A and B are shown apart, each in its own frame.
Chain A
Amino acid sequence: SQQGEEDPQALSIQEGENATMNCSYKTSINNLQWYRQNSGRGLVHLILIRSNEREKHSGRLRVTLDTSKKSSSLLITASRAADTASYFCATDAGGYIFGTGTRLKVLA
């Protein structure tokens, strides 16, 4: 089974709203990463958070990590139509292990 599981599977919001996606994983990690995939394209790395970090920011992105709960969240603030994509978390268990993704749709 997949190491990471994102929640929700799909999310539809209005432009300007915030989008929150969650990721749960199973084993201990050194770091957790979030990626974005536009339809039919390769994944693009967004942000990496190490196991000794609790929160990290990058532009409109905010990532939290709770290693005791084995979970992470990705918050996109002031969303834009261009944020429409699938978002995946990945853990560094050997090969990067990806979850099933959250499909985000931002309506203009």
Chain B
Amino acid sequence: NAGVMQNPRHLVRRRGQEARLRCSPMKGHSHVYWYRQLPEEGLKFMVYLQKENIIDESGMPKERFSAEFPKEGPSILRIQQVVRGDSAAYFCASSPSYGELKTEAFFGQGTRLTVV
């Protein structure tokens, strides 16, 4: 059972371009979470998705950022018109349940976005 797979591992974009980050959750997991981490800082929650639904996007910037988790295929975090301040590591996590019996989250290795 492969773990959470994120790709690409490293992504370089010029200012104004679009960045698309992909996350394939663990098999059997229907909950996906995206986080952003700046160097030497903690993980900042961005968005929580279930299949075809956004459950909580309270951590997502209102502009340029969007996320989806389609019925088929990986979850996508899209950043339009990237700026230097978007440079960070973006982590995806998945879990198999929610609510009273919520279990641990399993993390991917992250995508390191560099905006030049």
Report which A residues bind B (CB closer than 8 A). Answer: 2, 30-31, 33, 35, 40-45, 48, 88, 90, 92, 94-101, 103
CB distance from A107 to the nearest CB of B (A): 19
Taking a contact as CB atoms under 8 Å apart, the answer to whether A90 and B105 are in contact is yes
B56 near A94 with CB under 8 A, answer: yes
Interchain residue pairs with CB less than 8 A apart (26): A30-B99, A30-B100, A30-B102, A31-B102, A42-B4, A42-B91, A42-B107, A43-B107, A45-B106, A48-B103, A94-B48, A94-B55, A94-B56, A94-B58, A95-B45, A95-B55, A95-B56, A95-B59, A96-B33, A96-B93, A96-B105, A97-B45, A98-B35, A98-B45, A99-B42, A100-B42
- Assess A45 versus B104: contact at CB under 8 Å? Given A88-B43, A94-B56, A96-B33: yes
C-alpha gap A88/B93 in the complex (Å): 15
Give me the 7 closest cross-chain CB pairs, A-B, nearest first: A95-B48, A42-B107, A100-B42, A45-B104, A98-B43, A94-B56, A43-B107
